[in-house]
């Protein structure tokens, strides 16, 4: 065994001579003296049982490659998976900017030394504001689950009420997070959906509304890919009882889909993964919350809000935190939640993405996604045994296909697709038993006609 | 020629300053930054353009007013403003106390950018993602060893989220024993990270905060006064944000256990004690780590980070779903967990950071982690000694004792003598390309400054930082004006603060700014 | 910077006693003795230190001062061209008589002069009154203009128990400068406390909570924390009030001690509050205002009572500085579980580790409260804090 004292490239003062010199200068004869405050019975005896060290980068690369090469990525395999994580074109400049060390390794500096970070995030907020047609957008929080949960808590604080209405057809995972987060202060009641159209059942919604309702929450597009054509009515119904309309959207759709504020939404939330962030096995989420510039609402944001202000020199843009001391208070819930390390780098990335796409790009991508999605639906619906469950409702990006008539389970269908080197869609049979054996397919701007035709032809084989 | 004079100390730093407009001002009509695959004629023929035929209440009629820019202009704009930013890569970032701003090795960044990670969809069949699952499994094993806990979840997005998950598990545990309603109080300390109190409040608990005793240690007698049969648990950071290790920590856990509560260890400050002391032996039922602090993943201007929460066996049923398992042949995700608190976030965690943390530990090994801790502590005590030589500063509490990985200093004496406040010195420090952080609120230590050198910095780095502090201290006594009018060498000058608090003036977005300053929209 | 008006009042005899070993400086006799002993007025020097910080803004500040050594001399010495306002000369013509007896005027200035100067300045619409003196001067200003006007003290007395003073004369100048420049400085109510001087000279401390003045206080220079700062004091007080009201038993009457934090409790229920005195309330109604010990004890004969108090009188005293009505006899008759202590977390933090103190006047009663006390600091937030009795 090599008994030479190791040197660590990441630890400059581990050089033995330097270490000794520093021990001397702090007047300690050994490291144990520096740990004197830790009682002996709490000291860990011996060495941690960890794998042997890989001292060189070459070995590390080899080791990690060896692991990750066991993965098959969507760059190698055609994939129609969506359901909360989406494959879109990620421009190279997005990756270039979010790998710059100045952005990657900065953290919580003040607006003078980290002027760039403040400006980049202010610009992100501003570009999102154009998509959303609202004046206030937060610095990103963790993800859309958190954004939805927080938006609902905000609504409860603003109205002083403690029940929210949430659709049945949202992701089970999202519901689980929201439910946990709203406990114990806020109760949730579910709004069922119409089995034919997949849209919210307004008749039942009306019966659920009362002066105790803080918010009505819905998603557009919904988890099942449907565009909620009754959006204005839903907001109207909420407003009629003084409740807040909270809508969760895919910002990528807003080049062609109307901004929710225009159909009555008061608070809008969602995820920015679709704006230039790689999927990363589900690790690329970032949440946003937006509202109008009403002080009462602004005061309820638990996130940071970066704003612009003049400096003592003419023509300079200065930045800082808006309404840093949130001065409103809601009975029984003073906790404005917390702000932590969330997803700022994805916010900067989303800004880069939106600047690269521009107005035309956002229109084109919305159109392209809808066209391709529609095309896939049409081709699949042409088969007698396959049912595109909500065929008559407009869709964005995703759609449900039902396999009950075929007599195969969703799982079997996906397996068959996998055998043909295709990642199918999300199996919905456990999450939504009412939809039977169904799969949620996702089609975006990166799926060519050839890709879609291939899916269709293989499905055709599978269901014979 | 004569030799060029040696560089002075402190260096004559000036931050990059491009006087760069806000991106909207760079817009040129008609420009495009990136194009999309064109829609094939075949598709167009089949379905036309559904976006155009959406019902009115859903169709957007006016495209969003985003800037229109050619690709190189977007790149250039962001490259320029990135230069107006200090990160660990650029700067001796020991002034961000409690953040553990260590070097994030570039090799780990590169490894995380392979399409074998970035282009994985989380719902892919597990046979196609065995590699990443194995990494997650192994990281969990390593964190188990480092902490002594029995199981981990890598799902949380960062520290606050991990603490919240722990608090939810605490709640689920007591509920499962029908003591949930009765146990509605959580105890924490004023020097623990505020996320502990905040998470507990969001989860519906009453929060009891302990203040330190006269030596700066959490007050054991106060704890005894605080526990009761209403105690759900203890949330405590150790070492605390003052850098002081609580030698009675095992007493604390014992007392809380006796009262029927659980003990949750906030290990945001674990950097100085890796391999030295563990959560398990101190008697904790739960703990959490910040992978973006102690385990080197980069901070990203404020995320994404990654959190890991660890539990003992008795809390395992409540761990978020899914957990990563190995059945002897393959790795898989286990969703069959009826008592779980559910999901904290979509999918499984911030995978890129999970990989980076894994690679970091692999490149250091047990001895390396030990070295990390020891050098972090050595560096901190060296820094302590040097800083205390500066006029006007002190390190309250634990006099004469060693600190672990950080120290909260006080400039109280300097403020009394010169009228200059710590928050003003904080701005002046940026004139030298450095940063320092005061403290969380409320300021229990007056005129605070919290420094955490970590193991990434050399003796020369710390000497350079100290030289800057010394300079500013001197300025406070001889030329306070220069501090009060700082910054002078930064990207911009002193910003007016009033607009940020005034609803009529504040502008979170460019359009709000234009509206409120009476300008026409571009 | 907008044009602003600043008033400056120097109490030239403040602190005069302290320098030569006499405690305090009220009363003509003391002043005479001090002058004989060669004491040099301190307040003037201190005022100069503060004014120097304001000199860069002198073009935009109109300085109003009383004559001679009450302000004019110092202002000119610093380089200002002040507007001199008359003092007690006005008293003869003033419609509002000085309520505390007549002074003699002339060279020797009196509380009367401070009183009228402040009154005149307020009527002239100054934006801030800076005064140099001690607790006595603060008391005189409070008597003159009440608690709705921005005032800031330059510490220059022997007795500086009140919270209305900046930490140093220089800081007073700084703060005044920032405030006048409109730099986001806020106004905060701070206690005016009065030590009984005769008792003090005999070694006894008898303090009265006299009133409140609104003083500027510094907000953070920049905001760059990783988490937003906690809600402002006003909001935290609402949180405390909400929590306390939840805890109040429906049929119990509560002795509500003096202070702004206890006032929030009353406000939240919709009841009035004697800011510097003790009131009796229930969860829903107001029972008695500004009661003394006797009245409290009488009421206690008829019904059990609880106690809600907050530290007052400066220096972290929970009992004994400004709420002497809550006497040892009263405390003995309140059951421990009905004693509720409330305080802002920022005030606790400002103690910097020093304990809360109880000095009721009876050592046995003090010992009942010594130890660790839950202090309600927000909605569902409690601090366990150490309480001690000062060394007897």
Chain C residues with CB-CB distance to A338 below 8 A: 227
Of C228, C235, C380, the CB nearest to A329: C235
Pick the residue of B13, B64, B163 with the most A CBs within 10 A to test the interface with A by mutation: B64
pLDDT tens digits, one per residue of A11-63: 999 999 999 999 999 999 999 999 999 999 999 999 999 999 999 999 999 99
Whether residue A113 lies within 8 A of chain B, CB to CB, comes out as yes
Contact between A10 and B66 using a beta-carbon 8 Å cutoff: no
DSSP 8-state code for residue A121? H
Chain C residues with CB-CB distance to A329 below 8 A: 231, 235, 238-239
d(CA C162, CA C156): 12
Antiparallel, parallel or unpaired: β B206-210 and B231-237? unpaired
d(CA B346, CA A146): 9
Whether residue A361 lies within 8 A of chain B, CB to CB, comes out as yes
**Residue C225 confidence (pLDDT):** 36
d(CA B361, CA B270): 14
Asked if omega into C141 is within 30° of 0 (cis), the reply is: no
Contact between B118 and A278 using a beta-carbon 8 Å cutoff: yes
Pick the residue of C217, C221, C223 with the most A CBs within 10 A to test the interface with A by mutation: C223
- Helix, strand and coil in chain A, % to nearest 5: 40, 15, 45
* Phi, psi (deg, nearest 5) at residue B10: -70, 160
User: In which residue ranges of chain B is pLDDT below 70?
Assistant: 520-522
Checking phi first, is residue A266 left (phi over 0); if not, alpha (psi -120 to 50) or beta? Answer: alpha
**Residue C68 confidence (pLDDT):** 84
d(CA C145, CA C115): 8
Antiparallel, parallel or unpaired: β A267-271 and A287-291? antiparallel
Task: Supply A283's token pair.
Answer: 């690790």
d(CA B276, CA B377): 11
Is residue A140 within 8 A of residue B338, CB to CB? The reply is: no
d(CA C245, CA C282): 10
Of A74, A312, A415, the CB nearest to B494: A312
**Residue C12 confidence (pLDDT):** 80
Of B195, B348, B434, the CB nearest to A338: B195
Minimal CA separation from B337 to chain C, in Å: 33
Chain A residues with CB-CB distance to C381 below 8 A: 334
* Phi, psi (deg, nearest 5) at residue B213: -80, -175
Contact between C234 and A336 using a beta-carbon 8 Å cutoff: no
Task: Supply A185's token pair.
Answer: 């202060």
Strand, helix or coil for residue C328: helix
Whether residue C364 lies within 8 A of chain A, CB to CB, comes out as no
DSSP 8-state code for residue A95? H
- Cβ-Cβ contacts under 8 Å for B519 (sequence gap 6 or more): none
Is residue A437 within 8 A of residue A410, CB to CB? The reply is: yes
DSSP sequence for B340-381: S---SSSSS--HHHHHHHHHHHHHHHHHHHHHHHHHHHHHHH
- Interface partners of chain C (CB pairs < 8 Å, 3 or more) are A, B
**Residue B257 confidence (pLDDT):** 98
**Residue A341 confidence (pLDDT):** 83
Domain range summary for chain C, segments of one domain joined by +:
4-217, 233-388
Closest CA to A34 of B88, B243, C255: B243
Of A70, A357, A361, the CB nearest to B130: A70
pLDDT tens digits, one per residue of A94-146: 999 999 999 999 998 889 999 999 999 999 999 999 999 999 999 999 999 99
**Residue C313 confidence (pLDDT):** 62
Contact between B421 and C371 using a beta-carbon 8 Å cutoff: no
Task: Supply C281's token pair.
Answer: 């309330």
Contact between C349 and B442 using a beta-carbon 8 Å cutoff: yes
Chain A residues with CB-CB distance to C243 below 8 A: none
CB atoms within 10 A of CB C107: 8
Whether residue A296 lies within 8 A of chain B, CB to CB, comes out as no
Domain range summary for chain B, segments of one domain joined by +:
111-361
DSSP sequence for B35-52: --PPPPHHHHHHH--GGG
Per-residue pLDDT at A449 exceeds 70: yes
d(CA B489, CA B509): 27
pLDDT tens digits, one per residue of B114-148: 999 999 999 999 999 999 999 999 999 999 999 99
d(CA C130, CA C133): 10
Q: Which residue in the block uniquely carries the two structure tokens 């105690």?
A: B231
Exposed, middle or buried: residue C75 (CB in 10 Å: 0-12, 13-18, 19+)? Answer: buried
Per-residue pLDDT at A420 exceeds 90: yes
One pLDDT digit (tens) per residue for chain C, 392 residues: 789 999 999 988 765 555 455 555 566 666 666 655 554 467 888 899 899 989 989 899 999 999 888 889 889 988 899 999 887 654 444 444 444 433 333 345 678 888 889 999 999 999 999 999 888 888 889 888 888 889 999 988 666 667 788 877 888 898 899 889 877 667 777 778 776 666 666 666 666 677 788 887 765 433 333 333 444 777 888 899 999 999 999 989 999 999 889 999 999 999 999 888 899 999 999 999 999 999 999 999 999 999 999 997 667 889 887 788 899 999 999 998 999 999 998 889 888 888 999 988 888 899 888 999 999 999 999 999 999 987 64
DSSP sequence for B372-412: HHHHHHHHHHHHHHHHTTSTT-B--SSTT---SS-EEEE-H
Asked if omega into B322 is within 30° of 0 (cis), the reply is: yes
Whether residue A114 lies within 8 A of chain B, CB to CB, comes out as yes
Of C220, C227, C242, the CB nearest to A331: C242
Of C223, C242, C379, the CB nearest to A324: C223
Is residue C112 within 8 A of residue C103, CB to CB? The reply is: yes
**Residue C188 confidence (pLDDT):** 76
d(CA A458, CA A257): 32
Contact between A325 and C378 using a beta-carbon 8 Å cutoff: no
Maximum CA extent, chain B: 85
In B60-215, which residue ranges form alpha helices assigned H by DSSP?
Answer: 71-83, 106-112, 115-118, 130-147, 159-176, 194-202
How many inter-chain contacts (A to B, CB under 8 Å) are there? 711
- Cβ-Cβ contacts under 8 Å for B253 (sequence gap 6 or more): B234, B263, B282, B283, B284
Is residue C301 within 8 A of residue C307, CB to CB? The reply is: no
Is residue A446 within 8 A of residue A274, CB to CB? The reply is: no
Q: Of residues B472 and A333, which shows the higher confidence score?
A: B472
Contact between B491 and A394 using a beta-carbon 8 Å cutoff: no
Contact between C227 and A331 using a beta-carbon 8 Å cutoff: no
d(CA C90, CA A216): 67
Is residue A163 within 8 A of residue A216, CB to CB? The reply is: no
Contact between A340 and B161 using a beta-carbon 8 Å cutoff: yes
β-bridge partners, C150:
C214
Chain A residues with CB-CB distance to B82 below 8 A: 97, 100, 102-103, 116, 120
Task: Specify the DSSP element, H or E, that contains B186.
Answer: strand B185-189
**Residue C158 confidence (pLDDT):** 64
Of B198, B419, B443, the CB nearest to C168: B419
Pick the residue of C186, C235, C239 with the most A CBs within 10 A to test the interface with A by mutation: C235
Pick the residue of A323, A327, A334, A344 with the most C CBs within 10 A to test the interface with C by mutation: A334
Of A107, A111, A341, the CB nearest to C222: A111
- Cβ-Cβ contacts under 8 Å for A464 (sequence gap 6 or more): none
Task: Supply B482's token pair.
Answer: 């220069």
**Residue B251 confidence (pLDDT):** 97
pLDDT tens digits, one per residue of A196-229: 999 999 999 999 999 999 999 999 999 999 999 9
Radius of gyration of chain C, Cα coordinates, nearest whole angstrom: 22
DSSP sequence for B281-321: TTT-SEEEEETTTTT----TTT----EEEEE-GGGGGGS-S
Contact between B209 and C377 using a beta-carbon 8 Å cutoff: yes
Closest CA to B364 of C76, A11, C143, A40: A11
**Residue C21 confidence (pLDDT):** 52
Minimal CA separation from B229 to chain A, in Å: 20
Chain A residues with CB-CB distance to B351 below 8 A: 280-283
Task: Supply C75's token pair.
Answer: 């202002």
Minimal CA separation from A158 to chain C, in Å: 15
Whether residue C235 lies within 8 A of chain A, CB to CB, comes out as yes
CATH architecture of B111-361: 3-Layer(aba) Sandwich (3.40)
Whether residue B181 lies within 8 A of chain A, CB to CB, comes out as no
d(CA B113, CA B219): 47
* Phi, psi (deg, nearest 5) at residue B235: -115, 115
- Cβ-Cβ contacts under 8 Å for B175 (sequence gap 6 or more): none
d(CA A241, CA A441): 37
Minimal CA separation from C229 to chain B, in Å: 6
What does each C-alpha distance from C294 to B521, C209, C291, C300, C330 come to in angstroms? 70, 19, 8, 10, 9
Nearest CA in chain A to B89: A101
Minimal CA separation from B409 to chain A, in Å: 18
Chain C residues with CB-CB distance to A296 below 8 A: none
CATH architecture of C4-217: 3-Layer(aba) Sandwich (3.40)
Exposed, middle or buried: residue C71 (CB in 10 Å: 0-12, 13-18, 19+)? Answer: buried
pLDDT tens digits, one per residue of A266-321: 999 999 999 999 999 999 999 999 999 999 999 889 888 999 999 999 999 999 99
* Phi, psi (deg, nearest 5) at residue A391: -55, -25
How many inter-chain contacts (A to C, CB under 8 Å) are there? 58
Of B194, B222, B446, the CB nearest to C352: B446
d(CA B155, CA B346): 9
Residues of B with CB under 8 A from a CB of C: 99, 190, 194-195, 197-198, 201, 205-212, 214, 219, 221-226, 415-416, 419, 421, 423-424, 426-427, 437-438, 440-446, 495, 497-498, 500-501
d(CA C133, CA C131): 6
Domains detected in chain A: 12-60 (no CATH), 78-83+363-462 (3.90.1150.10), 92-353 (3.40.640.10)
């Amino acid at each position: 065994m090599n008994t030479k004292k190791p040197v660590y490239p990441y630890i400059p003062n581990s050089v033995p001579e330097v270490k000794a010199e520093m021990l001397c200068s702090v007047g300690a004869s050994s490291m144990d003296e520096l740990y004197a405050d830790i009682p002996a019975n709490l000291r860990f005896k011996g060495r941690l049982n960890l794998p042997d060290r890989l001292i060189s980068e070459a070995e590390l690369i080899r080791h990690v490659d060896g692991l990750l090469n066991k993965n098959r990525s969507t760059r190698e395999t055609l994939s129609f998976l969506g359901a909360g994580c989406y494959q879109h074109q990620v421009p190279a400049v997005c990756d270039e900017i979010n790998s710059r060390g100045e952005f990657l390794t900065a953290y919580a500096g003040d607006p003078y030394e980290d002027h760039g970070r403040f400006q980049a995030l202010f610009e992100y907020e501003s570009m999102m504001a154009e998509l959303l047609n609202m004046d206030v957008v937060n610095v990103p929080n963790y993800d859309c689950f958190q954004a939805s949960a927080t938006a609902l808590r905000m609504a409860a604080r603003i109205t002083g009420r403690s029940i929210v209405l949430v659709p049945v057809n949202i992701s089970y995972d999202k519901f689980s997070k929201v439910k946990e987060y709203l406990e114990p202060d806020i109760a949730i009641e579910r709004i069922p959906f119409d089995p034919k159209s997949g849209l919210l059942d307004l008749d039942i919604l009306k019966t659920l509304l009362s002066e105790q309702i803080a918010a009505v929450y819905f998603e557009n597009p919904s988890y099942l890919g449907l565009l909620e054509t009754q959006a204005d009515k839903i907001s109207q119904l909420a407003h009629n009882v003084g409740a807040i309309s909270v809508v969760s959207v895919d910002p990528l759709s807003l080049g062609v889909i109307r901004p929710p504020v225009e159909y009555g939404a008061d608070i809008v939330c969602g995820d920015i993964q679709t704006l230039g962030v790689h999927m990363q096995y589900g690790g690329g989420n970032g949440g946003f919350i937006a509202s109008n510039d009403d002080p009462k609402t602004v005061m309820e944001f638990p996130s940071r809000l970066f704003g612009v202000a003049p400096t003592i020199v003419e023509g300079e843009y200065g930045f800082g935190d808006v309404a840093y001391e949130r001065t409103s208070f809601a009975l029984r819930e003073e906790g404005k939640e917390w702000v932590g390390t969330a997803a700022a780098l994805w916010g900067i990335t989303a800004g880069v993405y939106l600047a690269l796409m521009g107005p035309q790009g956002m229109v084109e991508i919305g159109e392209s996604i809808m066209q391709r999605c529609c095309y896939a639906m049409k081709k699949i619906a042409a088969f007698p045994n396959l049912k595109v469950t909500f065929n008559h409702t407009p869709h964005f990006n995703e759609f449900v296909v039902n396999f009950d008539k075929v007599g195969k389970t969703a799982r079997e269908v996906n397996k068959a697709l996998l055998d043909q080197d295709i990642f199918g869609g999300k199996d919905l049979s456990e999450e939504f038993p009412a939809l039977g054996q169904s799969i949620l397919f996702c089609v975006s701007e990166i799926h060519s006609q050839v890709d879609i035709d291939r899916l269709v032809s293989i499905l055709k084989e599978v269901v014979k | 020629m004569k030799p060029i004079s040696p560089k002075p100390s402190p260096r004559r730093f000036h931050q990059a300053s491009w006087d760069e407009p806000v991106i909207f001002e760079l817009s040129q009509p008609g420009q495009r930054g990136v194009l999309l695959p064109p829609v094939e004629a075949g598709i167009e023929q089949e379905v036309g353009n559904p976006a155009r035929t959406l019902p009115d209440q859903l169709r957007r009629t006016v495209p969003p007013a985003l800037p229109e820019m050619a690709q190189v202009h977007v790149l250039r704009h962001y490259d320029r403003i990135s230069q107006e930013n200090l990160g660990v890569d650029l700067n001796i970032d020991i002034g961000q106390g409690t953040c553990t701003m260590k070097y994030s090795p570039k090799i780990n960044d590169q490894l995380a950018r392979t399409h074998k990670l970035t282009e994985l969809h989380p719902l892919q069949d597990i046979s196609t993602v065995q590699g990443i699952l194995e990494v997650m499994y192994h990281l969990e094993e390593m964190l188990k060893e480092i902490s002594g806990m029995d199981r981990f979840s890598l799902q949380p997005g960062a520290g606050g989220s991990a603490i919240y998950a722990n608090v939810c598990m605490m709640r689920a545990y007591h509920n499962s024993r029908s003591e949930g309603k009765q146990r509605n109080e959580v105890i924490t300390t004023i020097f623990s990270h505020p996320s502990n109190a905040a998470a507990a409040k969001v989860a519906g608990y009453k929060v009891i905060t302990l203040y330190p005793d006269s030596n700066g240690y959490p007050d054991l007698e106060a704890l005894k006064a605080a526990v009761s049969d209403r105690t759900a648990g203890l949330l405590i950071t150790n070492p605390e944000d003052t850098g002081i290790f609580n030698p009675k920590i095992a007493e604390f856990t014992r007392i809380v256990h006796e009262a029927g509560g659980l003990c949750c260890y906030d290990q945001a400050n674990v950097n100085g004690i890796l391999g030295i002391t563990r959560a398990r032996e101190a008697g904790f039922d739960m703990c959490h780590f910040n992978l973006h602090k102690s385990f080197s993943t980069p901070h990203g201007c404020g995320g994404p980070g990654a959190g890991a929460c660890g539990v003992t066996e008795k809390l395992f049923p409540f761990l978020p779903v899914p957990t990563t398992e190995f059945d002897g042949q393959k790795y898989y995700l286990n969703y069959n967990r009826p008592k779980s608190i559910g999901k904290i976030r979509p999918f499984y965690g911030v995978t890129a950071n999970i990989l980076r943390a894994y690679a970091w530990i692999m490149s250091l090994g047990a001895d390396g982690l030990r070295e990390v801790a020891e050098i972090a502590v050595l560096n901190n005590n060296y820094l302590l000694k040097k800083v205390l030589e500066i006029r006007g500063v002190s390190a309250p509490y634990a006099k004469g004792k060693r600190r672990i990985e950080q120290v909260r200093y006080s400039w109280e004496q300097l403020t009394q003598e010169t009228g200059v406040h710590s928050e003003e010195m904080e701005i002046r420090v940026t004139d030298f390309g450095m940063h320092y952080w005061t403290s969380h609120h409320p300021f229990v230590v007056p005129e605070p400054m919290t420094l955490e050198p970590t193991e990434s910095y050399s003796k020369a780095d710390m000497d350079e930082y100290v030289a800057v502090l010394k300079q500013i201290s001197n300025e406070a006594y001889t030329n306070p004006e220069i501090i009060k009018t700082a910054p002078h060498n930064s990207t911009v000058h002193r910003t007016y603060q009033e607009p940020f608090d005034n609803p009529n003036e504040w502008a979170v977005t460019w359009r709000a700014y234009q509206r409120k300053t009476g300008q026409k929209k571009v | 910077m907008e044009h602003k008006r600043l008033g400056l009042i120097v109490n030239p005899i403040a602190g005069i006693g302290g320098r030569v070993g006499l405690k305090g400086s009220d009363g003509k006799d003391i002043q005479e003795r001090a002058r004989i002993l060669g004491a040099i007025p301190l307040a003037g020097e201190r005022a100069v230190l503060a004014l120097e910080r304001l000199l860069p803004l002198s073009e935009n500040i109109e300085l109003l001062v009383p004559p001679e050594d009450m302000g004019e001399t110092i202002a000119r010495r610093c380089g200002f061209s002040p507007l001199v306002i008359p003092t007690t000369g006005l008293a003869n013509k003033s419609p509002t008589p000085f309520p505390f007896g007549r002074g003699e005027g002339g060279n020797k200035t009196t509380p009367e002069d401070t009183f009228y100067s402040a009154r005149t300045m307020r009527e002239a619409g100054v934006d801030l009154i800076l005064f140099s003196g001690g607790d006595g001067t603060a008391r005189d200003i409070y008597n003159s203009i009440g608690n709705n006007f921005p005032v800031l003290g330059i510490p220059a007395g022997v007795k500086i128990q009140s919270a209305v003073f900046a930490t140093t004369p220089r800081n007073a100048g700084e703060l005044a400068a920032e405030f006048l420049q409109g730099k986001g400085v806020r106004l905060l109510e701070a206690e005016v406390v009065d030590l009984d001087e005769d008792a003090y000279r005999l070694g006894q401390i008898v303090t009265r909570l006299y009133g409140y003045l609104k003083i500027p206080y510094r907000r953070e220079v920049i905001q760059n924390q990783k988490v937003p700062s906690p809600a402002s004091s006003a909001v935290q007080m609402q949180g405390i009030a909400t929590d306390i009201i939840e805890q109040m038993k429906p049929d119990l009457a509560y002795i509500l001690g003096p202070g702004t934090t206890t006032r929030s409790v009353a406000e939240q229920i919709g009841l009035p509050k004697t800011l510097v005195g003790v009131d009796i309330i229930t969860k829903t109604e107001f029972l008695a205002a500004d009661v003394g010990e006797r009245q409290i004890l009488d009421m206690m004969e008829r019904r059990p009572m609880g106690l809600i108090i907050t530290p007052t009188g400066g220096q972290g005293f929970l009992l004994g500085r400004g709420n002497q009505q809550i006497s040892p006899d009263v405390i003995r008759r309140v059951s421990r579980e009905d004693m509720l202590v409330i305080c802002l977390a920022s005030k606790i933090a400002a103690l910097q580790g020093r304990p809360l103190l109880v000095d009721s006047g009876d050592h046995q009663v003090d010992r009942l409260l010594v130890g660790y006390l839950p202090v309600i600091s927000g909605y569902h937030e409690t601090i366990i804090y150490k309480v001690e009795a000062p060394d007897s």
